């Protein structure tokens, strides 16, 4: 462990600030043999719901200039399948496992998931995915997306507060960029008892095949990730850092160590690597080494000296 890289997110102790983001790293097993998973700071599981989900129809992904559109729809084996099949594999890695949870049935399902996970030692922390833009209404044929809790400050407060009473584990709330003031939402999560926030989730977007005049995604719209969203994400991390006192996990288009350093300087205590994993499975380890070299080059004894160090007159 390099002590200068260590971070502590309200009890979630990481040997370094680089985390494999939810949804792009599967359950770890997909990357075994390609990268030494023990070198990562943590892994966030693919989001789970109480019951198994088949996800959205295909095609679910489409490349865009400097980005990737996806509408997976939270396909997952459900809580029982995750605990029986996936968690044992993740547990063997030997690094903190953050479990991402979402709900098809409102607050009660979030609470139940949190209660179940609270009793499992292998789970280091829980991430509340209240900001996925790709869930369709499972109880009707309506094509509209379910309302995002993360788009409403009051709803965010109510949900986080309810889950906070259900678990003692570090609680991370994942925020949506599809809002007018992400700082207000982050503040609500903090007041409700969230130990940290992670941002940003994908930006709602779409792409059209001009030859067929049809959407490139079966669900029409999806979430945009990749380098195209990074400047937006960095700006939002900076805005949130000035509004709250709890730690921030920054994400959005991080492809190399310099990108990760932008987020940290803007105020992130840690960063999550997502889309870049599809291009270079070793990218997270390379970013860890890049951050370490940056600290050495600038005579910084700890990553803590870099967090929120942006020199800005505003």
Q: How far apart are CA 204 and CA 222, in angstroms?
A: 6
Helix (H, G, I), strand (E, B) or coil at 137: coil
3-state helix, strand, coil in the chain (%, to 5): 35, 20, 45
The Cα–Cα gap between 157 and 77 comes to 28
The residue count of the chain comes to 314
Q: Which conformational region is residue 97 in: left (phi greater than 0), alpha (psi within -120 to 50 degrees), or beta?
A: beta
Between the alpha carbon of residue 304 and those of residues 19, 226, 310, the distances in Å are 17, 26, 13
Determine whether 132 is an active site residue: yes
CA atoms within 13 A on the CB side of 252: 29
Distance CA 9, CA 5 (A): 13
203 forms beta bridges with 224
**Contacts for 166 with CB less than 8 Å, ≥ 6 apart:** 111, 114, 115, 118
Angle at 201 between CA 196 and CA 202, to 5 degrees: 170
Catalytic residue among 35, 83, 132, 148: 132
Asked, as a colleague might, if the bond just before 59 is cis with ω within 30 of 0, I would say yes
According to DSSP, the residues that pair with 72 across neighbouring strands are none
Active site members: 132
């Amino acid at each position: 462990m390099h002590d200068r890289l260590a971070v502590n997110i309200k009890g979630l102790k990481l040997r370094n600030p680089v985390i494999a983001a939810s949804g792009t790293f599967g359950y770890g097993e997909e990357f075994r043999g390609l990268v030494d998973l023990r070198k990562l700071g943590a892994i966030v599981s693919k989001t789970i719901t109480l019951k198994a989900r088949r996800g959205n129809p295909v095609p679910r992904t489409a490349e865009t200039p400097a980005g990737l559109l996806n509408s997976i729809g939270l396909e997952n084996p459900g809580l029982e399948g995750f605990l029986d099949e996936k968690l044992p594999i993740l547990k063997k890695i030997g690094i903190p496992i953050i479990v991402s949870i979402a709900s098809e049935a409102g607050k009660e399902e979030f609470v139940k998931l949190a209660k179940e996970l609270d009793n499992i030692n292998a789970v280091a922390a829980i991430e509340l995915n209240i900001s996925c833009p790709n869930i369709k209404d499972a109880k009707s044929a309506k094509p509209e997306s379910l309302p995002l809790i993360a788009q409403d400050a009051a709803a965010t407060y109510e949900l986080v507060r309810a889950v906070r009473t259900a678990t003692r584990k570090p609680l991370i709330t994942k925020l949506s960029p599809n809002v007018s003031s992400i700082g207000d939402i982050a503040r609500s999560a903090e007041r409700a008892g969230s130990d940290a926030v992670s941002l940003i989730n994908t930006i709602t977007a779409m792409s059209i095949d001009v030859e067929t005049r049809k959407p490139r995604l079966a669900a029409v719209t999806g979430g945009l990730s990749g380098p195209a969203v990074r400047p937006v994400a960095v700006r939002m991390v900076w805005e949130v850092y000035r509004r709250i006192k709890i730690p921030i996990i920054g994400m959005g288009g991080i492809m190399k160590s310099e990108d990760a350093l932008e987020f940290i300087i803007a105020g992130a205590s840690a960063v999550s690597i997502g889309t870049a994993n599809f291009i270079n499975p070793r990218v997270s380890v390379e970013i860890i080494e890049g951050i370490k070299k940056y600290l050495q080059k600038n005579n910084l004894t700890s990553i803590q000296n870099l967090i929120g160090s942006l020199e800005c007159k505003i």
